Amino acid sequence: MLYVDIPLTVRYAETDRMGIVHHSNYPVWFEAGRTEFIKQNGISYSDIEKKGILLPLLELKCRFISSSTYEDKIIVRTSIKSYTKTRLNFYYEVFKESNLENPITTGETVHVWTTPNLKPVNLQKYDEELFNIIARNTGTDMEQS
Structure confidence by residue, pLDDT tens digits, 64-85: 999 999 999 999 999 999 999 9
DSSP letter string, 10-44: --GGGB-TTSBBPTTHHHHHHHHHHHHHHHHTT--
Whether the Cβ atoms of residue 66 and residue 143 lie closer than 8 Å to each other: no
Instruction: Give me the active site residues, please.
Output: 16
Domains of the chain: 4-136 (3.10.129.10)
The average pLDDT across 33-62 equals 94
The predicted model scores a pTM of 0.92
CA distance 87 to 35: 16
Does the structure show a pLDDT above 80 at 5?
yes
